[in-house]
Chains A and B, each alone.
Chain A
Amino acid sequence: MAEVHVVGQITGASGFPDSSLLCKWLLQLGGGWRLVEGLAEGQTQADRSEVGEEIVWCHPLDIHLSTRGIQGWPRLLLQVYRQDALSRVDVCGYGIIHIPTHPGHHTLHCHTWRPVGTFSEEFRRAFLGGGPQLLSTEFIHSSLERYRLSTIASGTVHLDIGVILREFDKYGIAT
């Protein structure tokens, strides 16, 4: 069993139009993968940034995985929520990013998007909050469904991830 350690953090985000954000993340694994230790999903705190500053989460990730093959290489599904003055949240970004396959330290930037609704929905969103939300998080990564969405770019989530691979060479995969 080859092993993969993912140690790092969700550093923060930038480029979002809103200032109080939180991020939900979910590690997605293929069939041959197994979570040995650590959490496979989580949620950061809501960080309120000053004007023009980056959002800072510094949310730790520490995941230990074992695998039988390289199919279904782990990837992170990210959902960024914004929090309004009444502490209500709604989605303002979906993103997906693969864990790097190369060992070492990586600084990743995950660009996110959100679905665009009709004019009236966008109007409501601008003034009252809320907004179109995906019915299922599966649509974030399913290429089969995504083509039906119309989306708008959101900000970028930054991740600092260190990847440690173990025993991949034993199975003929040069690392």
Chain B
Amino acid sequence: MTRPGCFPRCVDENGVRTPAHSARVTQLAVAGTHLPRGLHHRDPGLRNCLSCRQGENIARHRTRRGTLSRSPEQPAPVHRCLEGAQRSYDLPGHAGMLFAALQGCLPAAPLFFLCHAKVLSQVNTRPVTIHCRNTRLLQQAITGFKGMRGRDVESQAEREATRFFSATPLPGPASQQVLQAGSEGQAVLPGPSTAGERKRAGRLRKLITRGPTRFDEARVTSRIQGEEFFTRVWPEEQHTAPSSPGFSLWDILSPSKSQEKKDGEEEDAEGAEGESHALVGPHPCPPTRSTPAVYVPLHLRRIHQQSTLFLPSALPSDLRSKLEEGVSVRDPLEEGLYVGEKPFLTPANRNIVENRLLRQNNRHWFSETGSLERLNTPINEQFYHHLPPHLQEAQNKEPLTVFMEPQPIESLQDCDEGTGGVLDLELCGLHFTHHPLFSPEHVLAAQLTQDYKLYKQRVNLGATRILQAKLVVLRQSLAKLREAGDTTNQLSQSLQPRHKTAREELDVARRLEIYRREVKACREEANVEAEKDRQLLTGLLRTWRSIKDLRHSSRVHATSIRLLIRKEEGDRAEEEEQRKVELEEEVREVLEERQQEYEAQSKRYEKELAEWKAEHKKRKEARRRQEERRKAAEEGSTPDAQGEEALIQVAQDDTLLASPEPPRPSRPPKPPPKHKVELEVLEVFSRTRKPPGEPVVSLELTQTPLPELHNCPDPEKKRRQAVAKIHVWLRVLVNNKLVTQTSSTTLGADFTLPLGHTFRMALSSWPRSLTVEVVEGASLRQTLVASITLPIPGCTATTKDAPEVAQFSGSQVVSHSHAGVGCGQVGSQYGSSLTTGELKYKLGWATGAEGEVLAPLGPPPTHAAIPPSSSTALKWVAPPEGGVADTRQWLQEARLDPNDPANAALIAHLQKSAGGRSVRGGGHYLEFEGVAGWEGGRGGGVRLRVLELRDQGEPLYRDARLVPALETQVLRDPLQNFERRTREMEEEAEAVVAVGDGGGSGDAGASGDGEAERVKEVGEGWGAELEQRWERVEGLLASLRRRLQLRYSPESAAPVLEDLVREESIPDIGTLGSSLAAVFRARRPLRPTRRPRDRVRGAALTDQHVQLIVHVARAFNVPVRDPQQQQDSLGGGVGGGGDGGCVRTLVEVTFQRTTRSTSVAEGPNPTWNQQLSFPFRAPNDNFSPGSLQQVREDVFLHLYDQVTQDLLDDPRLRPSTLHHRLHHRWLGSLTIPFSTIYANAKIEGTFALEEPVMLLGYTREHRAAHLPASSSSSSSPPNTPPGHLPSTSLATTHLSLYITLEPSLPPPEPLKAQFESSEPEEVVSAGREWVAALASRYPRRRFRTHVLDLSGRLVCLTRYLRPLPPPQELMCQDSAATGDIWANSEQFLTLLTGDEEEHAVLLACFFLHLGKTAYLLLGSGVPEGETCYVVTRESDADWLVWQPSTGRCFSPRHPFTPLHAVYQLVSQDNIWGNVQKYDDPPRVSLDVGGSGWRPFFGRGGLRDPGLASVQPPRLTLPLPDPAQVKELQERLELSLRDAFMKWRGTNRTTWNRHAIKVLRKLVERMEETRTTAAATAAPHHHPSGSSSSSLRHQHHPNHALLAAIMKSHQVCGVCVHLGYSTAAGVVAAVHGAGVHLTQAPGVEFALALHLHPYPGQVLSVWVYVAALVQRF
């Protein structure tokens, strides 16, 4: 609590009161109640103020105490207000502060305060009574109002009150006393007695209850005076002496007595309140005087007002009075000028203003029109944009947004690639405007119709009429202007000569000139239009007449057309009169124009003439001077004195005379005399206007029913028959592909085709083109009349209501013998025109159920970007293309009304453009200086290109992790090579696809030719060329692969959630239970089940090690060392060679340059049971399916025999020392591509090994086979007795394997891309259904009816099969050698980049030609995965399965077939799907007639449509040139030898020439043996009877030679046979044999190579490599 004694100094001093201080203190006094004490002390200004004024101080004091006693809690707003108030003492808003302060106090407790009523009403809307009996305080408070400048009446009233209060005397002695006491007591609050307080309170109340105060009156009058506040001049303020001493605000507030009483009681209870009453004290002489309210009656006031004020009348004023004298009223509207809209003003208001202005005689406010000069309304009703309004409206029709239902999130992905749209094309009708079957009458009728259309259009437009009306108006205004000019001239001359300035005159002249020019232009234009009208009319009538003539002469109506001519007779005399007037006027005008022209010309002529004359004079003088000089020179007296000036003169003269003299300007022609002009005008009139008296003609074209043809001439009859015969239909082509066509209809007699078809087309992407072809055909032939290209609608364009019209014209020339006129015939009367017509159509995107436009998403192609509607609309306003100058000129010529808002945008735009800025807008195009542009069309330099390629994942740069930062450091050559190669590859691929297209379209002959050419071309190349060829083929393959990838990429790129998020399953009760049960599970179960492993998806793999696990179980039927030879050759040198038939084998597995091998196992049937694991490195550590599919690495498995050679020379050391050399001899190998492992997830089974044709020194154990594996049993399959298993496969070595990936990588999903097909849609769709039906029942089996051909189109499988004759060279062999065919054909196709499928197809074709029952078998096998085999039927229940790529054949019941599953069979005319329970070959019945096969064609399904085969009828295979083969062979052998020596490294390689000679002989016979000897079962490089190989070559005629060598040498050799593709392939094969690894001392080598050519540049390569060690 603040105590009163806190300001001792304030109390002691007395000061002078200043209003500012008082105001300031007031704030504090009121608001300070809530201030902490220290604040007052700290503010020096405040302290001063306080110290000088004791009374206020105390007043503040009182109030503070009073308030605090009532409201102990202090409202926060006051604080804020106070702080504000302290900061701004001297601002005028004191009153506001006060109110704020009060307001802040109010909510806390009702503060009783005496105040002005209006103050209260502002404080709060609540009825609040503020009590404060401290009048001083109130007075101070109101003094604060002084700060407010008297802004309104209320403040005026308050000012009065303030004035009144300011007279309040200083506090009386009593208060002085109290103050003094307070000051003396310092900290003691003077506690006055309650009695005293009451007494004082009572006194105050007495004061209050005095009569009406001056303030009261002021309140009343203020309202009245308020009205006159602004109009009245205020009299000098009279300071009235206070008359009524007992003023109190209580009276103003006049609360009820009871309340007063209550308040009084409340106040009584407050001890502190009493003091304030004591302070105010009794006023002996109150400062106010009570005056009664002065009321001036209304009528008096009116009178007063009328005398002082001017009230303008609201009635319209006189028009004449508003204009300046001598000015006539103009109406710009009448003159054709645009008058903008004025802002709306009520007429009364306008009149008031006008009258006021008129009263002030300010006439310059009025314009010539007699109204107020006002600006046009700046507010435009229309919303403006920089688009022209009509365009806006057009666009407004298309909504920008569409309501979309919430969609599944998958839809977001689809948005990027253009999804399909639905296009609606409605063909409304076709109408020919010329057709070869038109009769002459038709031609005329078409012309008539066309002219009539034009006529109708012109009549509707009424251009002539409008122009003539305009001319009339122009003439009138011109006349008016002339008159006005004359009158003003007269006026100005007579009355105000100085008013009319030269400028105004000039202005009038200019306007006259403009009008004149306009009249001329308008007249000429009108004349032209009228002439056109007239010509059109006469033309129409003439055509009609000729039609009538024709009809008359032929006595037949060919068309139903009829022209009605209506005539309106006019008054001839009147017309003549009118014409005369017009004529006169025009003549006058023309004369005037000519005259003016003449004047202008003559003026110019005079000027020119004057100039010429001056020039001429100069010349004359110069010539004279020259003459003089010449004479002087002749005389010999040279006037030297003249000096320089003379010289200059001479030079000038010379130049002047040297230039040719300009011709004398010709005098302008005299203006023609009047009669000539009249004649001219008359001539024009005759052309443009109808002669007087001629009736006004209006035309109407109607149709009349066509009469029956009974008596028409022959040609016409024939024509009609032809018309009736002809059929016309329309074909709709999208992207040049036939989509649909209308039904063919005959043309009507009027050559129209009512259509009204709507075609709805679902498009997968934006169409590139949309064409409608008009086709007509008689009974047999059909001709394309014309094709119409329709504009592709924009992305928001839907079908419009009004059809659009497309015109078309054909180009063919037709002539008829009957009455048909034909077309395109130059020189004929009627048939010169080409076939033309119009097509009415509606085109637009369909709208969906929700009203959305079903346009394809994605950006439309560039040419379809602009919707046609907007482009045409733009054309309407667009100024002609061209530069700024053109635009400006166009603007001037168009002479747009700049005031018209319709032109505002255009004008602004043009002005801007004319101002030098670019028309296109938006600044000028900044271009980097010094940029060499885009290098090679792509630009950006080599570095950026490399970066780009790396980003695209090109193989060359995929691994380039670091690309140099500087351009100069990037190697350019690889890039250039790369680009060149890419280009070549693309070209190549294009060519191949083109060939494929030819084949695919069923044109077998053409395809055959193409193929033959291709082959021929290939056949020409040999050696290096062959290699090049191979390279190119490789490139082609790569590009094909890339194309396919491109096609599939959208599907494969979309990752699924599992690719991104790995979610471990939360263990639940089930997993817990199973883990508990695992305790009781058998630890080593007898039949262990394989647990399925988790599949790991792409993204989770990156940090993992993927391993390839190869489990090598066992091998069967391994050849053993020939005991005889062993003993022979090696003596006892070989360790373990003691027992015959021993072999110590191991398997070496190589994958990604990692080689691991198993341990050594012994015997012909070794068991290893070893697991080898290899780290798998994905390309670029990218484990996505896409990149894994591109892994082209293979797993190589080699079976070796480990031979231990004892190197110990001294046998005595044997018991104590070991010195051995290990040598691996190759027995066979197996190659499994990684892609097979990846696609199948695991590979399990027993596989046959690829073995060398001859294995010297090894033999098969007869016991091991358990079968009679003799050479006779393994004879060629056709000869195999029925029921007898060919022992072929058991005769080779087999290896049991299990290969998988750990963790297992998911195989890629089968790709389901849609491809187009050139086959009938029903076949394709039926195939789809067939596949779907089968796949749902047998999900593991893969079925297909259509496959992709080279060009990426679907082709039915059956079409691939066709009996093909094998090459004749092979056919000449005996029938037993048929097996050779496919071996060679396989090679042939290998060179042409074939796969199993191609091999199988060719093989099947050959078989078919040989009359066998052959099927194509689609299934799955190892190692190739999904594959294609050939099945032939040997006898009723005996089948043979042929593996086309390797050339083996086996019975389907064989246990070790590479074929694992049979899915379907394909024959030449049907496809059968396997619907048997099992699909493994031994259990599948191959009889397609049985119930186990479901055919594709027939049996309730689709009938065979008889599709043509895609195969050519025969293959042309040229024979190679033997010389070239020889050359190649030599080169190959050389390179092989070189390679061999290189492999040997540091070891010396010795070639045994004798052995080479022997081997070469041997190798040359090999091919012969294969083709002739019946002993070869599968005469391929994997001899099926290899068990007999060692036996066989013993009986071989050449073996004697070999035996001789083997006597002297220990021979270890391998014969490799393969189809030739590249030299590198041969080299690699030899390297794989591993003969070069022999390390024996003194080893010699022999290498022989033989090439056997086959038709179609197929080469069979035989290589025999042997290592020879001299026997000791």
Q: What is the interface of chain A, defined by CB distance below 8 A to chain B?
A: 1-3, 22, 24, 34, 36-38, 41, 43, 46, 64, 66, 68-71, 81, 83-84, 86-91, 115, 117, 121, 124, 128-136, 139, 144-145, 147-149, 171-173
Does A68 contact B403, Cβ atoms closer than 8 Å?
no
**Interface contact B928-A90, CB-CB below 8 Å:** no
Cβ distance B1112 to chain A, nearest Cβ, rounded Å: 45
CA distance A143 to B941 in the complex (A): 35
- 5 example contacts (A-B, Cβ-Cβ < 8 A) are as follows A2-B928, A89-B408, A89-B411, A124-B403, A135-B401
Cross-interface CB contact of A36 among B403, B928, B929, B947, cutoff 8 Å: B947
Contact in complex: A68, B927 (CB < 8 Å): yes
- Name the distance in Å between A102's Cβ and chain B's nearest Cβ: 18
Which of B413, B926, B941 is packed against the most chain A CB atoms within 10 Å?
B926
- Residues on A with beta carbons closer than 8 Å to the beta carbon of B928: 2, 68-69, 171-173
B403 CB contacts on chain A under 8 angstroms:
117, 121, 124, 130-133
Given contacts A36-B947, A36-B948, A64-B947, contact A132 B404 (CB under 8 A): yes
Which residue of B has the minimal Cβ distance to A67?
Answer: B928
| Residues A139 and B400 in contact in the complex (CB < 8 Å), given A36-B947, A87-B409, A171-B928 | yes
Bound complex: CA A139 to CA B402 (Å) = 13
- Residues from chain B with a CB closer than 8 A to the CB of A46 are 409
Q: Given the interface contacts A1-B931, A41-B416, does A71 sit within 8 Å of B926 by beta carbon?
A: yes
* Docked complex: B168-183 residues within 8 A CB-CB of A: none
Please report the C-alpha to C-alpha distance between residue A144 and residue B866 in the assembled complex, in whole angstroms. Answer: 14
B404 adjacent to A131 (CB under 8 Å): yes
Contact of A149 among B401, B405, B853, B950 (CB under 8 A): B401
Number of A-B contacts (CB under 8 A): 115
B799 close to A (CB within 8 Å): no
The answer to whether B405 touches A129 (Cβ under 8 A) is yes
B941 to chain A: which residues have CB within 8 Å?
1
Q: How far is the CA of A136 from the CA of B934 in the complex (A)?
A: 32
Known: A34-B939, A43-B413, A68-B931; 11 extra A-B contacts, CB below 8 A, are: A1-B931, A24-B412, A34-B944, A36-B947, A36-B951, A68-B939, A89-B409, A115-B401, A130-B405, A135-B796, A149-B401
CB distance B404 to A145 under 8 Å? no
Query: A64, A69, A88: which contacts B406 (Cβ < 8 A)?
Result: A88
Look across to chain B and name the residue whose beta carbon is closest to the beta carbon of A86.
Answer: B406
Contact B408 A135 (CB under 8 A): no
User: In the complex, what distance in Å separates the CA atom of A136 from the CA atom of B401?
Assistant: 8
CB distance from B1550 to the nearest CB of A (A): 57
Determine if B321 is an interface residue (Cβ-Cβ < 8 Å).
no
The interface residues of chain B lying within 8 Å CB-to-CB of A144 are 387
| In contact, B947 and A132 (Cβ under 8 angstroms) | no
Restricting to B1185-1224, which residues have a CB under 8 Å from any CB of A? none
Q: Number of B residues whose C-beta is below 8 Å from A?
A: 39
A34 with B940, Cβ < 8 A, contacts A2-B928, A88-B408, A129-B406 known: yes
**Least CB distance, B947 to chain A, in whole angstroms:** 5
Contact of B795 with A by CB under 8 A: yes
A77 CB to closest chain B CB, in angstroms?
A: 13
B387 → chain A closest CB, angstroms: 8
Q: Does B1554 contact A (CB under 8 A)?
A: no
Q: Is the CB of A43 within 8 A of B400?
A: no
B407 lies within 8 A of chain A by Cβ: yes
- How far is B529's CA from A41's CA once the two chains are assembled, in angstroms? 60
Task: Return the chain B residue nearest A133 by Cβ.
Answer: B404
**B residues less than 8 Å from A36 (CB atoms):** 940, 944, 947-948, 951
Residues A43 and B944 in contact, CB atoms below 8 Å apart: no
Q: What's the nearest-Cβ distance from chain B to residue A147, in Å?
A: 6
The 7 A-B residue pairs with the shortest CB-CB distance in the complex, in nearest-first order: A88-B406, A129-B406, A171-B928, A132-B401, A37-B951, A133-B404, A130-B405
Is B234 located at the chain interface by the 8 A CB criterion? no
The answer to whether A66 and B404 have CB atoms under 8 Å apart is no
List B921-973 residues whose CB lies under 8 Å from chain A: 925-931, 934, 939-941, 944, 947-948, 950-951
Are the C-beta atoms of B940 and A69 separated by less than 8 Å? no
Interface on B for A, CB 8 Å cutoff? 385, 387, 395-396, 399-409, 411-413, 416, 795-796, 852-853, 925-931, 934, 939-941, 944, 947-948, 950-951
Q: Is the CB of B929 within 8 A of A172?
A: yes
Docked pose: A171 CA to B930 CA in angstroms: 7
Residue in B403, B407, B409, B852 whose Cβ sees the most chain A Cβ within 10 Å: B403
A145 to B927, CA, bound (A): 29
How far is it, in angstroms, between the C-alpha of A34 and the C-alpha of B385 when the chains are bound? 34
CA of A161 to CA of B412, assembled, Å? 25
Return chain A residues, CB-CB under 8 Å to B407: 88-90
CA distance A81 to B726 in the complex (A): 59
- CB pair A66–B925 under 8 Å, yes or no, is no
Q: Which of A69, A70, A84, A136 has the most CB of B within 10 A?
A: A136
Contact between chains at A130 and B926 (CB < 8 Å): no
> How far, in whole Å, are A43 and B414 apart by their CA atoms in the complex?
12
A173 to B934, CA, bound (A): 19
Q: With the chains together, A38 CA to B952 CA distance in Å?
A: 10
Nearest residue (CB) in B for A114 is B401
By a CB distance below 8 angstroms, the chain B residues around A41 are: 416
For B950, give the chain A residue with the smallest CB separation.
A37
- Alpha-carbon distance A84/B408, docked complex (angstroms): 10
**Given that A135-B795, A147-B385 are known contacts, is A130 also in contact with B944, CB under 8 Å in the complex?**
no
Complex CA–CA separation, A50 to B929 (angstroms):
53
- Across the interface, which residues of A come within 8 angstroms of B951, CB to CB? 36-38
Complex contacts, A129 vs chain B, CB 8 Å: 405-406
Roughly how many angstroms separate A121 CA and B399 CA in the complex, as a whole number? 15
Q: Is the CB of A1 within 8 A of B939?
A: yes
Instruction: For A3, list chain B residues within 8 Å (CB).
Output: 944
The docked-state distance in angstroms from the alpha carbon of A146 to that of B334 is 42
Give the CA-CA distance A37 to B953 in the complex, in Å: 11
Q: When chains A and B are docked, how far (Å) is the Cα of A149 from the Cα of B402?
A: 11
Q: Is the CB of A66 within 8 A of B929?
A: no
With known contacts A36-B947, A36-B948, A145–B940 Cβ distance under 8 A: no
Question: In whole Å, how far is B1492's beta carbon from the nearest beta carbon of chain A?
Answer: 46
List B contacts of A68 (CB < 8 A). Answer: 927-928, 931, 934, 939
Q: Which residues of A contact B408 (CB under 8 A)?
A: 87-89
Give the chain B neighbours of A89 by CB distance below 8 A: 406-409, 411-412
Give chain A nearest CB distance to B1421 CB in angstroms: 41
State which of B400, B405, B926, B927 has its C-beta within 8 Å of the C-beta of A134.
B400
Contact between B931 and A148 (Cβ–Cβ < 8 Å)? no
Let me know if B940 and A1 touch, CB within 8 A.
yes
Closest to A64 in B: B947
Measured between beta carbons, the chain B residues less than 8 angstroms from A34 are 939-940, 944
Indicate which residue in B396, B405, B412 contacts A148 across the interface (CB closer than 8 Å).
B396
B404 touches A90 (CB 8 A): yes
Contacts A1-B939, A88-B409, A171-B929 hold; do A130 and B401 have CB atoms under 8 A apart?
Answer: no
Asked, given contacts A69-B928, A147-B385, whether A130 binds B404 with beta carbons under 8 Å apart, the answer is: yes
- Closest A residue to B392 by beta carbon equals A148
Residue ID in chain A nearest B860 by CB atoms = A136
A69–B385 CB distance below 8 A: no
CB distance from B293 to the nearest CB of A (A): 59
Contact partners of B395 in chain A: CB under 8 A: 145, 148
Kindly list chain A residues whose C-beta atoms are within 8 Å of the C-beta of B852: 135
Contact across chains for B944 and A66 when beta carbons are under 8 A apart? yes
In the assembled complex, the Cα of A172 lies from the Cα of B927 at a distance in Å of 10
Query: In the bound complex, what is the Cα–Cα distance between A130 and B930 (angstroms)?
Result: 52
B1188 to chain A, nearest CB (A): 22
Q: Which residues of B contact A91 (CB under 8 A)?
A: 404
A144 to B398, CA, bound (A): 14
Q: Is the CB of B950 within 8 A of A171?
A: no
- Knowing A71-B926, A88-B409, the reply to whether A117 touches B939 (Cβ < 8 A) is no
Complex Cα distance, B404 from A88, in Å, reads 11
Q: Which residues of B contact A134 (CB under 8 A)?
A: 400-401
Which residues of chain A come closer than 8 Å to B944, judged between CB atoms? Answer: 1, 3, 34, 36, 66
Looking at the assembled complex, report how far the CB atom of A43 sits from the nearest CB atom of chain B, in whole angstroms: 6
Q: Is A71 a contact of B401 with CB atoms below 8 Å? A: no
Does A130 contact B406, Cβ atoms closer than 8 Å? Answer: yes
CA distance A89 to B403 in the complex (A): 13
